[in-house]
Structure 1
Amino acid sequence: MAKPRTVERLVVIGGDAAGMSAASQARRLKGPDELEIVAFERGHFSSFSACGIPYWVGGQVRERAELIARTPDEHRERAIDLRMRTEVIEIDPTGGRVRSRDLESGTEAWTGYDKLVIATGARPVRPPLPGINAPGVHGVQTLDDGQALLDTLAGTDGRRAVVIGAGYIGVEMAEALLNRGFEVTVLNRGEQPMATLDPDMGWLVHQAMDGLGITTVNRAEVTEIRTGTDGRARAVATRDGLYPADVVILGMGVEPETTLARAAGLPLGEYGGLLTDLSMRVRGHDDIWAGGDCVEVLDLVSGRERHVPLGTHANKHGQIIGSNVGGGYGTFPGVVGTAVSKVCELEIARTGLREREAAAVGLQYVTAKIESTSRAGYYPKAALMTVKMIAERRTGRLLGVQIVGREGAAKRVDIAAVALTAGMTAEQMTALDLGYAPPFSPVWDPVLVAARKVAAAVRAS
């Protein structure tokens, strides 16, 4: 018979942002004599930046180690029993235990818990296409993925790369491969690149990618990855064409990794993510929390649950979970959907709702789109940007903002993110007291110019 535990035990599934933030925060609040912490990670690395992988592949980040915030040994020095290369294969909520498998030895064991944190992240979308698992086809979700891709690039004589998907991962990987000297083709199933933008703003991204020498093919439905006699990927076939490739990158987005949660009968939402309350506790389970890319969160603009896989949210979730597990208090009220990206010198940003998202939740809206510059027009290196703003008809409540431009464009979306969180109207935004000097912005910041124009559209509606 197992000896009864005298110290409460926290078990964490997942050794990256949400999981290890939760473990670290809980450890700050409770010492080893009050709380035992056991964490399981199936990969080779802990607490790493997946968002940095395209820049490591592209050469802007020189060493893999630069993407690791805290090593397994550093976590262990803080009295966190982090078990690497160990995969949890079953959750037993009724028995308060998890079953794990050591991936090196194959040994399986049960570990009991008093409190459980599920931070299993997301998995790349990988449709069952012929050839999808062939050598030379790469996802880019983990540091292991990034290293495998770099190894392929180093051993490939050909210089043709095909990226399937034109979202954040797709455009960032297109830039990385361009920097590596590859001829890059991006196959995009949608109307324009960056489906997180409205098509008219995505068209600006398409234009810029063309100008960089990246071939972007829209409305391209991939049917097969063709292989050579050696079994390696050699081309990507669509319904309308064939694109030779020496390396293929999958950039079709991610989905919540909730296989364990589903098998355990835990509540999942429309997008397959775990559902939690404001404290990040799994609904209906007092001793289980979840955070990061495996959960769905409340969209503060639409009022609906959505899946938003970003490292910023994962770290916040972990801090909140760790506080609650450790005897403190914290809540995560929701998101407004802010994200930024870049492809070479082009900056891309969005927050809030797109037009079709606003329509889908029954909102009537007006839009405005303006062109301006990042600095005073007469100041050297003033860069063009386009700002699109969406506001609710009649009330004028801000619903969303999209920005595409050069240096100084993307982070301006933070102004709109704050306004959305505060529930401001476009009219109220026009009075915001933003910083001004010619090296930083025109007298009227581009975001405020867009606010003025959409406010006028509201008054006319």
Structure 2
Amino acid sequence: MSAASQARRLKGPEELEIVAFERGHFSSFSACGIPYWVSGDVPGRDALIARTPEEHRARSIDLRMRTEVTEIDVEGQRVRTRELPDGSGRDARSGPEHDSKADSGSGSGSGGTERWTSFDKLVVATGARPVRPPLPGIDAPGVHGVQTLDDGQALLDTLTGSGGGRAVVVGAGYIGVEMAEALLKRGYEVTVVHRDEEPMATLDPDMGRLVREAMTGMGITVVGGAAVSAIRTDGDGSARAVATDDAEYPADVVVLGIGVEPETGPARAAGLPVGAHGGLLTDRSMRVRGYENIWAGGDCVEVLDLISGAERHIALGTHANKHGQIIGANVAGGYATFPGVVGTAVSKVCELEIARTGLREKDAHRAGLQFVTATIESTNSAGYYPGAAPMTVKMLAERRTGRLLGAQIVGREGAAKRVDVAAVALTAGMSVEAMTMLDLGYAPPFSPVWDPVLVAARRATAVVRKAGA
């Protein structure tokens, strides 16, 4: 909808007809906000909705809700859609009757009316789907994903009905740790089960260990190196425990936070190119490679990593919205490009803030880069200022040149957003030595006189010089 809105800003309805299909019940909402809605920090579902279908239609965007695209006919320049039940027992398009000249033909399928809609230009923005391994009991009542607002509401209904108890979160990535916090705030006894050595595999293990120690201190049980083998159910078929090869963890509710993968079914079936991670491949204008009139963006595409030069799949709303702006401009006849990413992300679990950007050690090894690392401990404000809290910063730098390759930060208030300094330095191709002289803001409530990022850059500079000598 970011692409549709941008295109509409540039071209009026008399110049460009825009038809959008959405198979869900909501448009333009923040999936990233669902854990905070579940926790009670966000007061209600509507706070997460940026723009309703009615608001899009008021801007002459023909948005058809509960309509799923089942096939893309590239040669014929058309898509087949099927209407889905709206929850009231009838098929619905969630809006007034449409008489778009693009519609042609109809039929009756098991899910509702089917139609072909032709296009001159096609935008694929199908997002990502949660990883849901084919385990026994994975679809049992009480097992929840958190991808859509419907998912969030279903989880809240379960939590309200159970009135507290034991919760098991499967997976310890961003969604996993955020949901652990949400469930802890709702009074649940929380266990996080994950298969990696440490939680937050987007960090190096030594930094992930800090996250585990902090979560344990909050009362969360963290079980690493444990692959889930089944969801155990009780007599009525509801989830009662999460099983691994070595143990069972009792659960009144199970939340899946295993990660996501690109949702590219119809696009892949149509022959559009996909990369090693399953995402669609585009050029810098977000045009699908090899197709003049098809664009793709958001969680269903792979993007260029500016540090390693490889294609990556990174499912973040920040990138998706930028992709939408670029696609909308290009569809409307303008010109815009997306340069790539450095892989910046932040998260939190209770008071602990977690941030990373650039490459981890294993990413640098995979890219064939020789590097050094430096880790420092500092505080988020001047040590003498009341409330000063610890912060750990780790940097990776190229061995010969000192070019910054990555940074990871774990700490308390004020830690996470410091990673933005490193993200800018990565994008600019700065060396850690050049970073030491960055003119960052200073006052005792906000930082020591040497900001932790600069202290880490100084340490990394010394390590680079020693490695060179």
Asked if TM exceeds 0.5, the reply is yes
1:159 matched to 2:140? The reply is no
1:50 matched to 2:31? The reply is yes
Q: How does 1:178-217 map to 2 (within 5 A)?
A: 178-217=184-223
The separation in 2 between residues aligned to 1:332 and 1:174, in whole angstroms, is: 34
The separation in 2 between residues aligned to 1:152 and 1:63, in whole angstroms, is: 16
Deviation per residue, 1:162-183 (Å, 9 max, x gap): 0000000000000000011000
SS at match of 1:190: coil
Query: What residue number does 2:119 align with?
Result: 113
Q: How does 1:337-352 map to 2 (within 5 A)?
A: 337-352=343-358
* Correspondence for 1:81 among 37, 46, 62: 62
Q: For residue 188 of structure 1, report the CA deviation from its aligned partner.
A: 1.0
The separation in 1 between residues aligned to 2:333 and 2:389, in whole angstroms, is: 49
Query: What residue number does 1:70 align with?
Result: 51
Structure 2 portions without partners, runs of 5+: 86-90, 92-111
The separation in 2 between residues aligned to 1:217 and 1:440, in whole angstroms, is: 35
Deviation per residue, 1:35-60 (Å, 9 max, x gap): 00000000000000000000000000
Q: In 1, are the aligned partners of 2:193 and 2:224 still within 8 Å (CA)?
A: yes
* Correspondence for 2:427 among 414, 421, 425: 421
Write the letter of the residue equivalent to 1:175.
Answer: E
Structure 1 stretches of 4+ with a deviation exceeding 6 A read: none
Query: What residue number does 1:8 align with?
Result: none
Q: In 1, are the aligned partners of 2:164 and 2:187 still within 8 Å (CA)?
A: no
SS at match of 2:298: coil
Deviation per residue, 1:79-101 (Å, 9 max, x gap): 00000000000001110000000
Query: What residue number does 2:277 align with?
Result: 271
SS at match of 1:205: helix
* Correspondence for 2:13 among 17, 25, 32: 32
* Correspondence for 1:126 among 124, 132, 135: 132
1:170 matched to 2:176? The reply is yes
Q: For residue 25 of structure 1, report the CA deviation from its aligned partner.
A: 0.3
Q: For residue 379 of structure 1, report the CA deviation from its aligned partner.
A: 1.2
* Correspondence for 1:96 among 51, 67, 77: 77
Percent of pairs identical after alignment? 79
Write the letter of the residue equivalent to 1:177.
Answer: L
The separation in 2 between residues aligned to 1:23 and 1:205, in whole angstroms, is: 40
* Correspondence for 2:326 among 320, 323, 337: 320
Query: What residue number does 2:307 align with?
Result: 301
Q: For residue 380 of structure 1, report the CA deviation from its aligned partner.
A: 1.4
SS at match of 2:162: coil
Write the letter of the residue equivalent to 1:38.
Answer: V
* Correspondence for 1:365 among 371, 388, 394: 371
SS at match of 1:155: helix
Structure 1 portions without partners, runs of 5+: 1-19
Write the letter of the residue equivalent to 1:261.
Answer: A
Write the letter of the residue equivalent to 1:200.
Answer: D
1:457 matched to 2:463? The reply is yes
Q: For residue 29 of structure 1, report the CA deviation from its aligned partner.
A: 0.4
Deviation per residue, 1:291-343 (Å, 9 max, x gap): 00000000000000000000000000000000011122110000000000000
* Correspondence for 2:391 among 375, 385, 390: 385
Q: For residue 394 of structure 1, report the CA deviation from its aligned partner.
A: 1.1
Query: What residue number does 1:374 align with?
Result: 380
After superposition, the CA RMSD in angstroms is: 0.6
Q: In 1, are the aligned partners of 2:144 and 2:256 still within 8 Å (CA)?
A: yes
Query: What residue number does 1:400 align with?
Result: 406
The separation in 1 between residues aligned to 2:31 and 2:311, in whole angstroms, is: 24
Query: What residue number does 1:17 align with?
Result: none
Deviation per residue, 1:57-90 (Å, 9 max, x gap): 0000011000000000000000000000000000
1:238 matched to 2:244? The reply is yes
Q: For residue 227 of structure 1, report the CA deviation from its aligned partner.
A: 0.5
Q: For residue 157 of structure 1, report the CA deviation from its aligned partner.
A: 4.4
Task: Single out whichever of 154-163 and 328-337 deviates more from structure 2.
Answer: 154-163
Q: For residue 382 of structure 1, report the CA deviation from its aligned partner.
A: 1.3
TM-score (norm 1): 0.95
The separation in 1 between residues aligned to 2:266 and 2:47, in whole angstroms, is: 31
Write the letter of the residue equivalent to 2:385.
Answer: Y
The separation in 2 between residues aligned to 1:229 and 1:156, in whole angstroms, is: 17
The separation in 2 between residues aligned to 1:208 and 1:260, in whole angstroms, is: 43
The separation in 1 between residues aligned to 2:440 and 2:280, in whole angstroms, is: 39
The separation in 2 between residues aligned to 1:318 and 1:180, in whole angstroms, is: 36
Q: For residue 439 of structure 1, report the CA deviation from its aligned partner.
A: 1.3
Q: In 1, are the aligned partners of 2:284 and 2:338 still within 8 Å (CA)?
A: yes
Deviation per residue, 1:400-448 (Å, 9 max, x gap): 0000000000000000000000000000101111111111111100000
Query: What residue number does 1:283 align with?
Result: 289
The separation in 2 between residues aligned to 1:456 and 1:447, in whole angstroms, is: 14
Q: In 1, are the aligned partners of 2:29 and 2:49 still within 8 Å (CA)?
A: yes
SS at match of 1:334: coil
The separation in 1 between residues aligned to 2:169 and 2:327, in whole angstroms, is: 36
Q: For residue 158 of structure 1, report the CA deviation from its aligned partner.
A: 5.2
* Correspondence for 1:409 among 409, 415, 419: 415
